[in-house]
Amino acid sequence: MNAQAVETHVGLVVLVGDRAYKTKKAVRTAFLDFSTAADRRAALRRELDLNRRLAPDVYLGLGTFTGPDRDDEAVLVMRRMPADRRLSTLVTEGAPVDAALRDLARLVAAFHARAHRGPEVAVDGGAAALRARWTANIAELAAYRDTVLDGADVDEIARLALRFVDGRAALFAGRCADGRVIDGHGDLIADDVFCLDDGPRALDCLDFDDRLRHLDGLDDVAFLAMDLERLGSPQLGADFLDAYAEFSGDPAPAALRHHYIAYRALVRAKVACLRHDQTGAATDADAARRYAALSVDHLRVGTVRLVLVGGLPGTGKTTVAGGLADARGAVVISSDRIRKEAAGLDPVTPAGAGFAGGIYTRDRTEQLYANLLHRAELLLGRGESVVLDASWIAARHRVAAAAVSARTGSEFVPLRCCASADVAARRIADRGPTASDATPAIAAAMAAVADPWPQAVVVDTSGVPATALAQALRAYDVPDAAHSTGVPAG
C-alpha cells in the first residue's frame, strides 16, 4: 500500500489507504505554539472538535504514533477524501457543481443556525472589529506598495472599505442583534470542500484563533464565493450566496456581500505578498495583484450610493429613477408619492392647485424633503443604495442631501433630467393618472424659481427612455470626483 505525504509549514499529513493522518510540527510562531507534545495534542483535539461540527464522519478521532524511543506523538485520524472530488478541481475542469454548491449552502446555513453565538462572539464580528481587521491588513500591505501591489489600488481599498464600515453602524448593529454573527468555519475555500455522492464535506476550519472564527455568517460564505471567482467562476459564487440567503433567511443587502468578498480578497492578497517574500516567485506577485484587483472591483460595485434624480415636470425623471433603481437594485423613493401619503391621499388622487398652493405650500415642501432625506438616511445606514425622485430645484435641499450622503459614507450622485419645454409639455398633457399634479404652467413657475445646479450630471431625456437610462447608469457606475465633489460631469 503506497503512502503519500503532504507537508505544510506547521504540519504533516500522511495519506494511507482510506485514512489520512495529520500531525503538528514542533514549531512556535507569532500566532501559535506547538513546541511541546502536550501543546500539539491539545491543538489536534481542538481541530477535531471544531471540524466535527461540519464533517463529523470525516474527523474520526485522535490516535498516537509511538517512535522507537517510545515518545508518543498525537495524530488526528481522518477519513481520506478523494482528490478528484475536490471542489477546486471540479471547478477548474468545468465539471457541473451547481447542485453540490446548493447542497453546501444548505449544509452551511444549517451549521450557522446551530452555531454558538452570544455577546462575546458578536463583539468580534461587529463594525469596530471589522474596521480593525481592515486597518491591520491594509497596514501590512504598506511594505508592498508600488513593488508587488499598485499603491493606487491599496489607497482605494482603504478609502472605500473604511468608508463603507464607518457609514453602516446601523447595519452591523442590526446583524449582531439578529444573531448573524456566529462561531463559524472561518476558512471556507474550494480546496477544502469535497463534493461526494452523499453530499459535500467542508473541512479544515480556522482553529488557531477563535476571534477570527467569530464572524458574520455572510462573511463566512463570502470566502468561498471569492475563491470561486478567483477560479474563474464568479456566477457560481453568486449562485452559492443566493442559495445561502435562501436557506438561512438572510436579508443582507447586496452591498454587504460585495464588502465581505472584497475583505476576503484583500486577506488573500496579503498572504500572496508574504509568500512572495519567501519565494520571490512572479506567480505569487501576480496572484497578489489579482486578489487586490478583485477587492477593488467588489468595493466599487458594493459602494452605497445616494442618487438624486431631479428636473422639472415632464423631463422624465420618474422614468429614469425607476429604471435606474431596477437596474442596480436600489430603493427608489418618489417625492410625489410621499407628498400624497403625508396628505392622506391615494398616490393617483388629483390634488391640483396653483404653484405653491394646496399640498404644495412651502412648509409642506420643506416637510416633504425632510421626510425624503430621513427615509434615505435610514436605508443608506443599512447598506441600501437609494434613488430619490424629486424636482430638487432648491439648492438648500441638495445641500441637505449631500450632508446625508457624507454622514452615511455614501457616494453622492446628482442627476438632472432635461428635455425641451415642448417635449415636457407634451408629456404632461399625454400622461395618464400619476402621482404628479404638475401642469405646464406649474412647470414654468418652477423653472422661474429654480436654483442653478451646475454640480449635477445632465441626463438628456429628449429621446427614447433607454438612451437616457444608459446615461444615468454610466453616472451611477463610475464613482468619481465629479459625483463626490460636485464638479459637473458633462
Tens digit of each residue's pLDDT (9 = 90 or more) over 217-254:
999 999 999 999 999 999 999 999 999 999 999 999 99
Residue 320 C-beta-side C-alpha neighbours within 13 Å? 37
Domain membership flag for residue 237: yes
Judge contact between 457 and 488, C-beta under 8 A.
yes
Q: Which residue has the higher pLDDT, 260 or 344?
A: 260
Residue 490 has pLDDT above 50, yes or no: no
Residue 355 has pLDDT above 80, yes or no: no
Rounded Cα–Cα distance for residues 386 and 107 (Å): 34
Q: For 458-472, what is the mean pLDDT?
A: 96
What is the count of structural domains for the chain?
Answer: 3
Q: For 178-192, what is the mean pLDDT?
A: 98
Task: Give the CATH number for residue 51.
Answer: 3.30.200
Residue 351 has pLDDT above 90, yes or no: no
Domain membership flag for residue 490: no
Q: For 335-349, what is the mean pLDDT?
A: 80
- 429 and 479 share one domain: yes
- 101 and 169 share one domain: yes
Domain span holding position 357? 305-485
Q: For 93-121, what is the mean pLDDT?
A: 98
- 296 and 328 share one domain: no
Give the pLDDT confidence score for residue 479 in this predicted structure.
57
For residue range 421-444, list pLDDT tens digits in order: 889 888 888 776 776 777 888 888
Residue 457 has pLDDT above 80, yes or no: yes
Task: Give the CATH number for residue 161.
Answer: 3.90.1200.10
Give the pLDDT confidence score for residue 204 in this predicted structure.
96
- 111 and 49 share one domain: no
Residue 154 has pLDDT above 80, yes or no: yes
Residue 480 has pLDDT above 60, yes or no: no
For residue range 35-58, list pLDDT tens digits in order: 999 999 999 999 999 999 999 999
Give the pLDDT confidence score for residue 69 in this predicted structure.
73
Q: For 364-369, what is the mean pLDDT?
A: 94
Give the pLDDT confidence score for residue 70 in this predicted structure.
64
Q: Which residue has the higher pLDDT, 414 or 446?
A: 414
Q: Which of 254, 283, 301 is the last residue of a domain?
A: 301
Residue 82 has pLDDT above 80, yes or no: yes
**Percentage with pLDDT > 90 across the chain:** 80
- 102 and 55 share one domain: no
- 53 and 31 share one domain: yes
- 385 and 290 share one domain: no
Residue 121 has pLDDT above 90, yes or no: yes
Domain membership flag for residue 380: yes
- 174 and 209 share one domain: yes
Q: For 255-271, what is the mean pLDDT?
A: 97
Give the pLDDT confidence score for residue 68 in this predicted structure.
77
Q: For 459-484, what is the mean pLDDT?
A: 84
For residue range 291-341, list pLDDT tens digits in order: 999 999 999 999 999 999 999 999 999 999 999 999 999 999 999 899 888
Please write down the HEC assignment for all residues of the chain: CCEEEEECCCEEEEEECCEEEEEECCCECCCCECCCHHHHHHHHHHHHHHHCCCCCCCEEEEEEEECCCCCEEEEEEEECCCHHHEHHHHHHHCCCCHHHHHHHHHHHHHHHHHCCCCHHHHCCCCHHHHHHHHHHHHHHHHHHECCCECHHHHHHHHHHHHHHHHCCHHHHHHHHHCCCEEECCCCCCHHHEEEECCEEEECCCCCCCHHHHEEEHHHHHHHHHHHHHHCCCHHHHHHHHHHHHHHHCCCCCHHHHHHHHHHHHHHHHHHHHHHHHHHCCHHHHHHHHHHHHHHHHHHHHCCCEEEEEECCCCCCHHHHHHHHHHHHCCEEEEHHHHHHHHCCCCCCCCCCCCCCCHHHCHHHHHHHHHHHHHHHHHHHHCCCCEEEECCCCCHHHHHHHHHHHHHCCCEEEEEEEECCHHHHHHHHHHCCCCCCCCCHHHHHHHHHHCCCCCCCEEEECCCCHHHHHHHHHHHHHCCCHHHHHCCCCC
Domain membership flag for residue 148: yes
- 128 and 59 share one domain: no
Domain membership flag for residue 54: yes
pTM over 0.85: yes
- 271 and 172 share one domain: yes
For residue range 129-143, list pLDDT tens digits in order: 999 999 999 999 999
Residue 411 has pLDDT above 90, yes or no: yes
- 201 and 91 share one domain: yes
- 222 and 317 share one domain: no
Q: For 375-403, what is the mean pLDDT?
A: 98
Q: Which of 278, 301, 324 is the last residue of a domain?
A: 301
Give the pLDDT confidence score for residue 349 in this predicted structure.
67
Q: Which of 79, 106, 136 is the last residue of a domain?
A: 79
